[in-house]
Amino acid sequence: MPKYLLLSTKPITFKLLLSGQPKLMKEEGWEVLLVSSAGIEMQQICRTEGVHHEVIPFVKGVNYLEDCISFLLLFQLLRKVKPDVIHSYDPKAGYLGMLAAKFAGIPHRIHSITEMPVHAKNPQKGFTLLEKWTFSNATALWVNSKGMLSFFTTNSKLDSSKFNLLGHGSTLGIDLEKFNRQVLKENHLVAATMRILPGENDFIILAVSKLIKRKGIEDLVAAFLSSKIVSFSKLVLIGSFDKNEEPLDQEILQTIREHPRVVQIDWTDHVEHHLALADVLVQPSHEEGFSNVLLEAAAMQVPIICSDCVGNTSFIKQQKTGLVFPIGEVTALKEALEFAFVKREALTSYAEALFEEVVDKFDRKMMQQLQLEAYRKLGKNQEKG
């Protein structure tokens, strides 16, 4: 029985991005182990997926002492378990996991690159030490958008065959059974409504992300406040502030907390119910691999406005499946918001076209099969070797 180890620093990855994959792998004859830091959700995840979980403590950011401890614990676990495949899903899991796996002699070391590299805007600077560490120790690098594949094959000095794109992109598609207007629960819809408190005719503008600078939140707030539709709209921000990672300016923070037309919600496990109340989803990020929020909005048939960063334009086509504006251009974003408010039929047609594309290309069940086949191929190649 082949062994598969799935590694992430945060257990929420298994719940939101990879749900169903461990269960499928087990059903297909693999021995599956999830590894992450501790989390209250892990008991439910293991019960749902029918697999085991091991705790490795990971700290946020670079902390050499704590990272060394995590590395040693991970190395010991890998030597004990001896998986055939290890697959990591975030930067820290990548550089610690790929190195530990190489030292432990794990034959197949896959890292999924879900974020653009630090120097994406200035590729001549090359990759950071930790990025180089991850890329060199992995045997395969999976990117999650066509734009990212083009970027890495053009700007890295690695063999292009090391990079892989599953299907048309994304981490693992979208769960169309969950993000489906027909199955929403009334009590969660009521709860979402009570958080937003929309007026009878309010135009609801929703954004879901960390509330930090590089996610374009300052651009969005500025564009909203300068638009002609403020008094007819509500800006709803789902996400938490971060004092340590590109914190928002104090003026913007104060506006978010005090403006009567801006609502901030720390986080929710019921994003789909908030999407159901939205008239448009805005994704103003300055950099993105492939935004899962865009997939979620598309599955819920919510019109999309997004920046033209690599991950977004790999998915959204201007005035065909959404509205696209230049990164950081507040005036262009303001005009897009006003256009969406006035031209609602056009936005609806974009959303309908995108929904058809999502059903055809990004259904999680289909993406799970593609990933399973990729793992099977590794096993066949190993047998040949």
Q: What is the pLDDT of residues 145-182, one digit of tens each?
A: 999 999 999 988 889 999 999 999 999 999 999 999 99
116 vs 348, more confident: 348
Same domain for 227 and 158:
no
Same domain for 299 and 201:
yes
Same domain for 314 and 379:
no
Q: Is the pLDDT of residue 274 over 80?
A: yes
Same domain for 199 and 160:
no
User: What is the number of residues in the chain?
Assistant: 385
Segments forming the whole domain that contains residue 191: 181-361
Q: Which two tokens stand for residue 70?
A: 């995590």
Same domain for 189 and 156:
no
What's residue 64's pLDDT? Answer: 87
What's residue 351's pLDDT? Answer: 98
By the 8 A CB rule, do 165 and 171 touch? no
Same domain for 44 and 151:
yes
- Any idea what the CATH number is for the domain that residue 263 is in? 3.40.50.2000
Same domain for 346 and 197:
yes
Same domain for 254 and 205:
yes
Same domain for 166 and 33:
yes
The pLDDT tens digits for 356-373 are 999 999 999 999 999 999
Question: How many structural domains comprise the chain?
Answer: 2
Q: Which two tokens stand for residue 98?
A: 């790929």
The pLDDT tens digits for 43-100 are 999 999 999 999 999 998 888 899 999 999 999 999 999 999 999 999 999 999 999 9
Long-range (24+ apart) CB contacts under 8 A made by 99-107 are 99/71, 99/133, 99/137, 100/71, 100/74, 100/75, 101/137, 102/137, 103/75, 104/75, 104/78, 104/79, 106/78, 106/82, 107/139, 107/382
What's residue 385's pLDDT? Answer: 47
- Rounded mean pLDDT, 256-284: 96
Burial 353-385 (b: 16+ CB within 10 A, else e): ebbebbeeebbbebbbeebbeebeebeeeeeee
Same domain for 309 and 377:
no
What's residue 148's pLDDT? Answer: 93
Q: In whole angstroms, what is the distance from residue 288 CA to residue 334 CA?
A: 21
Same domain for 221 and 152:
no
Same domain for 195 and 129:
no
Tell the residue number behind the tokens 């005035």, with chain if given.
319
